[in-house]
Amino acid sequence: MPDDLGHPNHRPASMPITPQTARKYLRRAAGLIARWRRECGHDPRSRMPHASAEWAHAFAEWVVTQKPWWVATSWRQVKSSVLHYLRREHRARTDQQAAFQLAIDLLEAQTQQGTAKKTTKTSSMKDKRFRDTDHAKIRARLLGSGSKYATCLIDFLHAARLTGLRPDEWPTATLDPGPNGSGPVVLIVVNSKNTQGRSHGPTRTLTWPTLDQANISVLQECISWAFRADCDERFEADLKAMQRLLHDVCRAVWPRRKEQITLYSCRHEFAAQAKRVYSPAEVAALMGHASDATATQHYGRMRGSKGKLSAEFPLPEPHPDEVARVRAVLDRRRQRLNDLSGGGNGHSM
């Protein structure tokens, strides 16, 4: 059932989030507060008037007025970020909890109604396709760029297209290349959305019956880099540097293209190719989704006819137990719909 956002995947306030997500929420909220204060004529560098928490409600009202400028997915992120910040202040400021609660109540009551249908900003300008020809052009440009991040970005783009991992899932991924590298090759991924109730379980398993050594080496290099960077607390900074490099390369290669390839385009392309071979439940298992709805609604459409894919990016196989968990979610939803419709004709999967 949809929540107050009108979105079935929205995370309730009581559900925990990862430390990385919390940091992202707080950074986004801080940026919005600074923008609000500039528009109100205040110096965003000055201290907030903590003697009174009435500013919190005024800020929440301003956030609501900005909703028509955001598409639904962006609004969901903005709302979650601001609510996380306000709830944190609510817990810390025991003398001003009533004022913060008013701001929280105002935002919690907001749905996606009134958001923009489309925008020229952020995600709508990201390309959900990542063609083989585009990949080859980017690789060639990176090889001649001289950037210290070029090799790492080349490995990342290849590995992400091969696996469909979210960028933040690489530091905890583990690879088993099989005895003597003969296969099967098994990649265990910690699902980054599991704490938000948006995954079929804590981990997902991607298996290739056979995988050539070149692809195995790329996966090993990407996992090794991510682990080291995370240990050195520079993983997020490295990701941002690679995204900037990718942006500059794409602008140089395609200066007039409106939708540009991003690090996340690899995951979209993986989803689109997986849909050529697997059922919706199998695709959800490979992507780490709780059901098939997310990949169907938000990820790349199937391109080309069903059948064999290129040898450069062979698709892994989903784990049967994880597919079963996805199907269990689908069955429960179908049963609820069947109950609401008075026991009408349901179709089993």
Residue 221: predicted pLDDT: 96
Q: Is-above-0.85 flag for pTM?
A: no
- Taking CA atoms, 68 is separated from 31, 71, 114, in Å, by 18, 8, 6
Residue 167: predicted pLDDT: 93
- Pair 315, 162: CB distance under 8 Å: no
- Pair 326, 200: CB distance under 8 Å: yes
- Pair 276, 292: CB distance under 8 Å: no
Residue 78: predicted pLDDT: 92
Helix (H) or strand (E) holding 133: helix 132-143
Residue 46: predicted pLDDT: 60
pLDDT in tens, the chain (349 residues): 333 333 333 445 556 778 878 888 999 999 898 888 877 766 655 655 554 567 888 899 989 988 888 888 889 999 999 999 999 988 988 888 888 899 999 999 999 888 887 654 455 567 778 989 999 999 999 999 999 999 999 999 999 999 999 999 999 999 998 877 677 999 999 988 665 555 678 899 999 999 999 999 999 999 999 999 999 999 999 999 999 999 999 999 999 988 889 999 999 999 999 999 999 889 999 998 875 554 444 444 445 544 455 667 899 999 999 998 887 766 665 565 555 555 544 443 3
| Cα–Cα distance for residue pair 66/195, rounded to 1 Å | 29
* 3 state SS of 198: coil
Domain range annotation of the chain: 19-120, 126-334
Read off the amino acid at residue 34.
A
Bridge partners, 205 (sequence order): 188
| Cα–Cα distance for residue pair 294/291, rounded to 1 Å | 7
- The fold adopted by the segment(s) 126-334 is hpI Integrase; Chain A (1.10.443)
Helix (H) or strand (E) holding 54: helix 54-65
Q: Which two tokens stand for residue 72?
A: 């639904």
- Could you tell me the strand order of the sheet in which 317-318 lies? 174-176, 185-190, 203-208, 317-318
| Cα–Cα distance for residue pair 161/168, rounded to 1 Å | 15
- Pair 290, 280: CB distance under 8 Å: no
* 3 state SS of 292: coil
| Cα–Cα distance for residue pair 194/200, rounded to 1 Å | 7
| Cα–Cα distance for residue pair 341/122, rounded to 1 Å | 39
* 3 state SS of 205: strand
- Pair 221, 204: CB distance under 8 Å: no
* β 185-190/317-318 pair status: unpaired
Q: Which two tokens stand for residue 57?
A: 């409600």
Task: Identify whether 167 is preceded by a cis peptide bond (ω within 30 of 0).
Answer: no
In b/e form, how buried is each residue of 178-191, taking b as 16+ CB within 10 angstroms? beeeebebbbebbb
